[in-house]
């Protein structure tokens, strides 16, 4: 039984005098200390301080490039349209739509009383569907008709429609002779107007003519003579007659005009347990590590992404997300008692010092600990096998910056979507805690009063990884879409602050997101 309560005047005097005593060290001591310290430039934070601006600048440059490509594409399409319009002549329509939009040739005035069957039906208010039976071949114009040629090399000047009456062949003569009043009105009428150069020109034309024909019929006036309508116009004219019943529904644009969309997403990533660390001999121990994976907790990630569509199927995405992960892993080191370095203490049997060397995805660590016999009277032979179970918990917070290329397949409400790209991981928090250190040999215990020393070297503040996902996108409407995708992600080769390579396990999970496009 120690008696520290007995106060010795000598001890009291020394304690009282030297307790708060200070002595001046030499002036050059700080210089010697500083020479032994690692240079501050080698710290990982300063490395990140340099590279973070480069990365942010790269992200901004990517977005600017996307915007530039978008603007250039719009300008190119606009100029291409203008060139196409300028190159095409009205006499050479290329497509059905352009044929419809092309101005009609001047309409000749019927001279005799023979009316075309289709024209009859039209003028008497019956369905213009019958106009589709009009056969241009049956009513081919004679060779002397100057409008028969549409060649660009020999353009035909438009003639007033009433002048065509003189050249119409008998087959085009109307069966009924128009009244003198009508004839006079026809002669006074202006030439046929140019059709609007739009896709709906045929509809506009018929819509304007049908009331006119009906009004003339109701007023008792003689029917207007039929005009020579090209066959392709007559075939399209069925649409307004059928109305909206058989006409196709308005076509909803499959893609939004701007191609930009923004999405909120959440991911649940399940990383496998850390790989078994590589045993390193520090004090000549024969260390054998066995990794015991714990029930891994999933890593949750939430973030924001912006997507720009490029072309019909492809797109580029960039964004920002936050991820948090807690990983717990137990290691068992197996060695001989005599492998440790002898250290003072431990009674009759000397203590031994050992070291764990860990290599985890978050960094490397060296754990120094000392062991001693549980009983002084029980000496431990040198070859005694010692097993120590050490449990470590890593707590990681990440800021993730993904830059992905995406590809969509399909159309309609349900699309397939695949994304692949690079993810920059920035460590906001990267801690390692020694949760427990237990000897599995009852004859040996951890040295009393000695706490294990953990020297943690975390990974570099920034690392790069990959992202692969493929799933389905359901479009609720033109603007909002939901996505569900399985995910495979991981890191490329990365190292700790001292350059040691770290394991790069792949992680699996899922991602759900909601996107808004405009």
Partner 1 sequence: MSSAEIEACLRGERSAQRALYERYKGRMFAVCLRYAGSRAEAEDICQEGFVRVFRDLGQYDGRGPFEGWMRKVFVNTALQHLEKQRRRIQTDSLDGLDVADDAEASPFEDAPPAEQLIQLLQQLPPGFRTVFNLYVLEGYTHSEIADILGISVGTSKSQLLRAKVHLRRLLEKSLVE
The residue ranges that bind partner 1 (CB under 8 A) are 2, 4, 6, 8-15, 17-26, 29-30, 32-34, 36-40, 42-43, 45-46, 343-347, 350-351, 447-449, 453-456
Q: Cβ of residue 352: shortest distance to partner 1, in angstroms?
A: 12
Helix (H) or strand (E) holding 185: helix 180-188
Structure tokens at 384: 């005694």
Q: Cβ of residue 353: shortest distance to partner 1, in angstroms?
A: 12
Q: Cβ of residue 377: shortest distance to partner 1, in angstroms?
A: 14
The neighbour count for residue 113, using CB atoms within 10 Å, is 12
Residue closer to partner 1, measured from CB, 231 or 343: 343
Query: 3-state DSSP call for residue 248?
Result: coil
Residues in the chain: 518
Helix (H) or strand (E) holding 59: helix 44-87
Q: Cβ of residue 436: shortest distance to partner 1, in angstroms?
A: 16
For the chain, helix (H) and strand (E) counts, in that order, are 9, 14
Residue closer to partner 1, measured from CB, 351 or 419: 351
State the greatest distance between any 2 C-alpha atoms of the chain, in Å, as a whole number: 148
The strand ranges marked E within 239-298 are 260-270, 288-293
Q: Cβ of residue 375: shortest distance to partner 1, in angstroms?
A: 15
Helix (H) or strand (E) holding 4: none
- DSSP string covering 9-46: HHHHHHHHHHTT---PPPTTHHHHHHHHSPPGGGSHHH
Residue closer to partner 1, measured from CB, 17 or 477: 17
Q: Cβ of residue 318: shortest distance to partner 1, in angstroms?
A: 30
Structure tokens at 103: 């101005």
Residue closer to partner 1, measured from CB, 46 or 197: 46
Angle between helices 201-218 and 238-246 (to 10 degrees): 100
Residue closer to partner 1, measured from CB, 97 or 343: 343
Distance CA(214)–CA(212), nearest Å, equals: 5
Q: Cβ of residue 30: shortest distance to partner 1, in angstroms?
A: 6
Residue closer to partner 1, measured from CB, 50 or 493: 50
Cβ atoms of residues 497 and 459 within 8 Å: yes
Structure tokens at 426: 């920035």
Residue closer to partner 1, measured from CB, 1 or 249: 1
Cβ atoms of residues 372 and 344 within 8 Å: no
The residue with tokens 């990983």 is 327
In DSSP terms, 409 is beta-bridged to 416
The residue with tokens 């602050």 is 497
Query: 3-state DSSP call for residue 206?
Result: helix
Residue closer to partner 1, measured from CB, 25 or 302: 25
Q: Cβ of residue 434: shortest distance to partner 1, in angstroms?
A: 10
Query: 3-state DSSP call for residue 6?
Result: coil
Sequence-distant (6+) residues with CB within 8 A of 458 are 44, 362, 363, 427, 430, 431, 432, 496, 497
Q: Cβ of residue 449: shortest distance to partner 1, in angstroms?
A: 6
CA of residue 408 relative to chain centroid, distance: 10
Residue closer to partner 1, measured from CB, 342 or 486: 342
Q: Cβ of residue 254: shortest distance to partner 1, in angstroms?
A: 53
Residue closer to partner 1, measured from CB, 11 or 85: 11
Q: Cβ of residue 34: shortest distance to partner 1, in angstroms?
A: 7
Backbone angles phi, psi at 326, to 5 degrees: -125, 125
Torsion of the alpha carbons at 400, 406, 412 and 416, rounded to the nearest 10: -90
Residue closer to partner 1, measured from CB, 325 or 370: 370
Residue closer to partner 1, measured from CB, 4 or 252: 4
Q: Cβ of residue 25: shortest distance to partner 1, in angstroms?
A: 4
The neighbour count for residue 81, using CB atoms within 10 Å, is 10
């Amino acid at each position: 039984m120690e008696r520290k309560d007995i106060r010795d005047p000598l001890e009291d005097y020394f304690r009282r005098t030297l307790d708060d005593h200070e002595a001046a060290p030499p002036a050059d001591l700080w210089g010697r200390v500083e020479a032994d310290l690692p240079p501050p430039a080698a710290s990982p934070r300063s490395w990140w301080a340099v590279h973070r601006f480069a990365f942010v600048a790269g992200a901004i440059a990517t977005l600017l490039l996307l915007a530039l490509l978008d603007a250039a594409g719009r300008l190119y399409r606009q100029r291409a349209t203008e060139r196409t319009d300028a190159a095409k002549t009205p006499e050479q329509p290329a497509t059905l739509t352009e044929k419809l939009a092309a101005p009609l040739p001047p309409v000749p005035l019927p001279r005799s009383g023979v009316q075309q069957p289709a024209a009859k039906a039209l003028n008497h208010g019956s369905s213009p569907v019958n106009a589709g039976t009009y056969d241009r071949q049956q009513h081919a114009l004679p060779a002397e008709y100057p409008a028969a040629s549409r060649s660009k090399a020999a353009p035909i000047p438009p003639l007033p429609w009433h002048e065509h009456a003189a050249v119409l062949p008998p087959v085009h003569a109307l069966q009924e002779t128009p009244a003198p009043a009508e004839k006079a009105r026809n002669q006074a009428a202006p030439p046929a107007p140019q059709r609007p150069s739009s896709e709906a020109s045929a509809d506009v034309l018929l819509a304007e003519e049908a009331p006119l024909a009906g009004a003339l019929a109701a007023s008792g006036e003689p029917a207007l003579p039929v005009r020579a309508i090209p066959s392709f116009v007559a075939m399209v004219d069925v649409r307004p007659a059928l109305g909206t019943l058989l006409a196709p529904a308005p076509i909803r644009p499959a893609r939004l005009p701007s191609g930009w969309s923004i999405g909120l997403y959440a991911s649940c990533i399940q990383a496998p347990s850390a790989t078994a660390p590589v045993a390193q001999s520090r004090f000549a121990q024969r260390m054998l590590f066995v990794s015991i994976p714990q029930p891994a907790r999933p890593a949750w990630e939430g973030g924001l992404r912006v997507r720009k569509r490029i072309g019909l199927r492809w797109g580029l995405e960039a964004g920002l997300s936050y991820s948090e992960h807690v990983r717990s892993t137990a290691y068992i080191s197996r060695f001989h008692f005599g492998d440790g370095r002898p250290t003072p203490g431990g009674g009759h049997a000397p203590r031994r010092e050992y070291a764990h060397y860990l290599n985890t995805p978050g960094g490397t660590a060296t754990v120094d600990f000392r062991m001693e016999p549980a009983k002084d009277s029980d000496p431990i032979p040198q070859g005694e096998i010692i097993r120590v179970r050490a449990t470590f918990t890593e707590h990681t917070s990440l800021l993730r910056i993904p830059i992905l290329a995406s590809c969509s397949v399909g159309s309609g409400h349900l699309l397939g979507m695949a994304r692949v790209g690079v993810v920059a991981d920035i460590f906001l928090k990267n801690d390692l805690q020694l949760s427990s250190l237990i000897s599995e040999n009852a004859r040996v215990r951890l040295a009393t009063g000695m706490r294990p020393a953990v020297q943690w070297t975390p990974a570099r503040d920034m690392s790069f990884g990959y992202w692969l996902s493929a799933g389905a996108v359901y479009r609720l409407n033109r603007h909002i879409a939901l996505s569900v995708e399985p995910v495979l992600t991981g890191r490329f080769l990365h190292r700790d602050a001292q350059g040691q390579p770290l394991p790069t396990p792949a992680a699996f999970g899922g991602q759900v997101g909601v996107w808004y496009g405009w």
